[in-house]
Amino acid sequence: MIEQFDYVTVSSDEDDFLEICNWLKTMASSNQHLSLMNYYMEMPIVSKSPVTASDDRSFVVSPLEHHTKVITEIQKTIIHKSPELSVLANCQAISLSTNEVILSGFRYISLHANHRKTCRVRLQKPINVSLITETGKMAGVLKDISLSGCRVATFIRTLQPGASVVLALKMFDTSTNAIVSISVNAELIRVDNAKMPIACGFRFEPDSETEEKLIRFINQRQMELIKSLKDSLV
């Protein structure tokens, strides 16, 4: 979660905390539900939850069971407050038997994902990809992907931001039990070469046919992640 947001101070840390607590009290007294979110393998897990006051500085929520498991692992959750601001909450206590989470330590944040057009999913089993340029073909490993782009790890240092490539990969389509080839035009927009392998961020420029293949691939991955999360509760 660390990479998903920036802290925001509106007045001061204490004043912001008190303002958030007053807002949560209002939500609780009017029986309104909170929208809670966490990232699981880069995929947002969202659930609506009632909220009640535990005391003046902490509040109790009841997310969906699989969401509570994610919160248990991360010990934090994000509360949506407005299009501009969200709230990061620390977990003071969790009861898996009652599916209740006590939240405290509230701070305003701005989510990076608010600026991302599409949902990104991380791959549990990295997929080999080919990066095809005018000068040749390079090998890489796909780490995560969305409809708008992806992140690839590679040991090749010759790529520079602004480079145009064709990213080629093969996926197994569970709906047809067939191997599907995907080739998508992409622009390299970010390179992190502080350590090996190098992390490269690409922005896709797909045609309609390629976009449909990407949608199937990403939706399939999302279903696999949700299934693995729910299976872990059994």
pLDDT given at position 116: 58
Percent with pLDDT over 90 in the chain: 58
Please measure the distance between the N-terminal and C-terminal CA atoms of the chain and give it in whole angstroms: 25
Query: 138: helix, coil or strand?
Result: strand
87 and 133 in a single domain? The answer is no
Pick from 85, 115, 145: which residue ends a domain?
A: 115
- Determine contact, residues 102/90, Cβ cutoff 8 Å: no
Residue 35: CATH number of its domain: 2.40.10
Using the predicted structure, report yes or no on whether residue 10 has a pLDDT greater than 90. yes
**Interior/surface letters 123-157, b for 16+ CB within 10 angstroms, e for the rest:** beeebebebbeeeeebebebbbbbbbbbbbbbeee
Predicted confidence (pLDDT) per residue in 71-113, tens digit:
998 999 999 999 889 999 999 999 988 899 999 999 999 987 6
23 and 99 in a single domain? The answer is yes
Query: 201: helix, coil or strand?
Result: strand
7 and 104 in a single domain? The answer is yes
125 and 91 in a single domain? The answer is no
Report how far residue 146's alpha carbon sits from residue 117's, in angstroms, rounded to the nearest whole number: 9
Using the predicted structure, report yes or no on whether residue 34 has a pLDDT greater than 50. yes
pLDDT level of residue 1 (50, 70, 90 thresholds) = very low
Report how far residue 212's alpha carbon sits from residue 99's, in angstroms, rounded to the nearest whole number: 38
Average pLDDT, the chain: 89
- Determine contact, residues 4/76, Cβ cutoff 8 Å: no
Enter the tokens of residue 46.
């969202």
| Mean pLDDT calculated for residue range 137-157 | 92
Q: How many domains is the chain partitioned into structurally?
A: 2
Q: Considering Cα of 108, then 113, then 116, then 117, what sign does the dihedral take?
A: negative
128 and 92 in a single domain? The answer is no
Enter the tokens of residue 231.
């299976």
Percent with pLDDT over 70 in the chain: 95
Type of residue at 49: S
CA angle 33, 122, 197 (to 5 degrees): 140
Q: Tell me the residue length of the chain.
A: 234
pLDDT given at position 152: 96
165 and 92 in a single domain? The answer is no
Pick from 84, 115, 146: which residue ends a domain?
A: 115
Domain assignment of residue 154, given as a range = 121-230
- Cα–Cα nearest to 166, from 137, 199, 126: 137
Report how far residue 28's alpha carbon sits from residue 20's, in angstroms, rounded to the nearest whole number: 12
154 and 106 in a single domain? The answer is no
Residue 135: CATH number of its domain: 2.40.10.220
129 and 25 in a single domain? The answer is no
Predicted confidence (pLDDT) per residue in 48-77, tens digit:
999 999 899 999 999 988 899 899 989 999
Using the predicted structure, report yes or no on whether residue 39 has a pLDDT greater than 50. yes
- Cα–Cα nearest to 199, from 163, 154, 158, 157: 154
pLDDT level of residue 2 (50, 70, 90 thresholds) = very low
132 and 182 in a single domain? The answer is yes
131 and 198 in a single domain? The answer is yes
Pick from 82, 115, 148: which residue ends a domain?
A: 115
